[in-house]
Structure 1
Amino acid sequence: MDYFEIVIKGFFRNNNRKYLKQYFLREFKKAEREYYHIDEFFDGLLSVVANFKDNLQQQIIDRKKELNLILDAAINGELKYTDLKSETLKQKRLETIEFCEKELVKERVNGLGSETFYVNFFYLTNGKISYLMRYEEIQEIRQAILNALLELKDLDKIDLFPKENNEIIKVKEVLPNTFEELFFNPDNVEPCLNILRELQPPVIDAMNNYIGKAKGVFPLWIKVLKNHSPTPLIKHFKDTLYKDLLNKKIKGLKLSKDASEFRKQYKRLEKNKVESEIKIILSQYSQSGKLGN
């Protein structure tokens, strides 16, 4: 099954793109006739989208390397300048150092500093398609795939992480002082935060700033991480402790003092099946090996 071909036909053909969810539903029905399982098919589509994001991430990594090389050369006095104009060599070096340092701290999901990156389809398709895909368009495709999957699977009624033998894992730990200490495996901190960045719309950015409009996403996220099977990803504590550590970790979040967000019912989030989307992303991470043991 050529999942890449399916995705680009959906995006680049106008009528398909206008009804992208319906397009993916039709393509699944075709695949089903060839005995493709629903998970196999949609995992294949999502892996294509993940590769697009990896492409952007690699460009960010390459730009970081470039900036760090320039920065080191400027600090060590090894950088050559062809035109100093009226500036001294020292002034030029200081300008270069300041520029590189500012660029390096401004990382986004689709760029670094003043640079914004795109997926270049000219190279991905050996020149057949000339197009620069924006991060927002990648998210558009991903959301259509997830919406199609949600329509086919009533995920609200399916436990993606069932308990084995109804075993209840009780954890007695010293109260954590940092957000990272909530996790059984600290390697899972960043992948789990990435879930919040991948939601549509995202609720945090690459620098862990709160950019969402629905704080109720965080209790749902905590709930999914606590109920992960065969073992939870985070330890079980009172809601107020989660609230305190989230407020420390996520800049500008400001969950209420009594952690009331953990007790509220968010009808809009239920309607948009946000909890299901969190489960899907986490399941994808688990299957792709992005989560530690």
Structure 2
Amino acid sequence: MVDTTEPQEDNPLVDEIHRLLQSLEAAGKVTLLGTPDALLKSIIEAAARIFGAAAASILLVNEAEGVLEFKVAYGASNKDLVGIRIPLNQGIAGYVAMSGQPIAISDVTQDMRFDQDFAKSTGYVPHSILATPLLAGDQVLGVMEVLDKINAASFGMQDMELLGLFAGQAALAINQAQIIENLSVVLVTNLKRLAAVDMEGSTEHLREVLEVFPSVGSQEDMLKLVELFAEFFRMGDAERETGLKILSAFAEYSQRQRQLSRGGSW
């Protein structure tokens, strides 16, 4: 738990770091089922089962790169879709992302927006698709798709309304993850500022740890690190320096391991 006691140091930067640590912990508690990836996976699997769909997926918008990226996928395909990127304006998912409107297509072969070449490359070519945007206010965060009802010819209006409910839950999880990511960026920036103005040994180790902090893979791991930083702020100077030395050594080891691993070979 992050200590809510006011820091003893009379330093506005330290005060701001404490506030960020508290905000990150509070934001992290909102994701009750674990990490955002695990939550999205459970949502898409539940949607596929309820719709009786052969496949389903969630794609997230990356505006900076102009792409949609498969975040989670379920069902019929001989290829792992997770991590695959497609242009933001490509295919039916791209249309939904750009328009912000849901769509139901009973026969994709009759729709010019359908990207058949990409579908073939995944090993599964659907017949019908139901897709809806993941919205946070007016912002499109991504797209949720379900493909091919196993026991019906196509999707109907009731299906579209139901998928919208699933999409709402997914959007909440994604939005929460983005809030935590943004807070963590500000936290790291302020910690680096603190290390820059304090040239004592403890902050030298802090700078080394911060070199790898932004590359932490999951939200769960990042929140654990936030708790560690909060604990360090509660420690005395000697304890803090010892703890940061240990973290610094582990960070250096982790970087070496990643460098060695890189040396290998719709």
Q: Is TM > 0.5 for Structure 1 vs Structure 2? A: no
Greater RCO, CA 8 A, separation 6+: 2
Structure with more strand by fraction: 2
Per the normalisation by structure 2, the TM-score is 0.29
Per the normalisation by structure 1, the TM-score is 0.28
